[in-house]
Every structure is written in C-alpha cells, then in structure tokens.
Amino acid sequence: MKSPQFFVTGTDTSVGKTTVSALLCAALHASYWKPIQTGSREGTDRRTVMRLAGLSASRAFPETYCFAPPVSPHLAAARAGVRIRLASIRLPAVPRGETLIVEGAGGALVPINCSQLTTDLMKQLALPVLLVSRTTLGTINHTLLSLAALRAARLAVRGVILVGNANRANHEAIEHYGRVRVLGRLPLLRALNRNALLAAFRRHFSARDFRA
C-alpha cells in the first residue's frame, strides 16, 4: 500500500501550518519533516510538532537546511553564505503505509534561492498539497490567490484546512470560488496539546480525506 504523503503550505507565515501539521501527525499517526527551517534561534517547528503530537525523534526527520534568522529562506541562506539546492532535498523513507506530513516554510511563493520558489520544491516532491488558511477577514482573497499560484504551478491541491473561529460565509466562499473542498477547521484551542488536537480532529475532520 502506498504511503499517504502531503505537503502543508499556507496563505501566509504564522497562519497555523505547524499546529495543523502537529494535528495531522497526532491524528493520522504520521511522521513529520520540514526540509527548510528558518528562525531556529527561536526554536524549530520540528521540536514543536514533536511536543504537540507526541512524536519520537525517529518519526520527526531532521531538516535538510536550517537557519537561525527568522526571515525568508533565500535571505537566511544568503546570510549564511549558502545556496539552497533542490537537488539536495529528498523525501525521507517512512515505513510502508505510514503517513508523512511535509511542512513548507511560509507561503507557496516564498523564494528559496535566487531563481526558485517553494512551488518548485513542491513540484519536485510531487505530493498532494494541503493549504492552511485563516477563517478571519481577508482569508477569501488570500486563499484564492494561493490556490491560483498552486494551480499555475500544476500542483495537485487536496484541499483547504481552516484555522480559527467558525465562519460559515468564508468557508462557503472558499469552496465556491476556489473550486476546492474545505477538509476541516482547527479551532482556537485554550490548551494546545496532543489530547486537545485529537479531540479537535475527531470533531472537525474525517480521516477518510487523508488517505492515499
């Protein structure tokens, strides 16, 4: 059986990609990988996902590139005197049938070097894309623009995951104008831990939507 694998991107930085990645890792018993990490001086998303999802180090693969400054990958690499090369980024091996969640850095069009964007990384890895969006004002425009960029790059979009308080109007507009399914919503949680994430998944998602 082919292992289900997904690339998680967002409409913007700090939209909730890492928390959604932790949610999926916990609920789907998935492994996690973030190939390009910036802002590591403030901690890595790998460590956050391990803590929130209860993952062992063996199921949270090390970054291919990791930079301290909290800036765009192309800029962080330039400051470090490094060029991010797509040829160096290869999917880690996971046990047969196990899900892998791959998290991108920032949004879909974030540059990773002088000539390539995160969409180029997505095309190389060839995984279905999950787009994380806010539920709040402005999300329709940001989500539709991100969907347009992903489709222009000929990427397969599995669906949108919303983060925030329920907003039925925005949910319906994203599905209608974006011609995409909203796969679920992660509400704002008072306590952010594995049990809370699992409860949110059971209430707002279906595991069927994340099968290969």
Q: Which residues are catalytic?
A: 34
Strands of the 182-186 sheet, one edge to the other: 60-61, 31-33, 100-107, 5-10, 129-134, 157-163, 182-186
3-state secondary structure 111-156: ECCCCCEHHHHHHHHCCCEEEEEECCCCHHHHHHHHHHHHHHCCCC
* Distance separating the N- and C-terminal Cα atoms of the chain: 9
Residue 78 is which amino acid? A
Q: Cα–Cα distance between 103 and 19 in angstroms, integer? A: 10
For the purposes of burial, counting CB atoms within 10 Å of the CB of 88, is it exposed (0-12), middle (13-18) or buried (19 or more)?
exposed
Q: Cα–Cα distance between 112 and 118 in angstroms, integer? A: 6
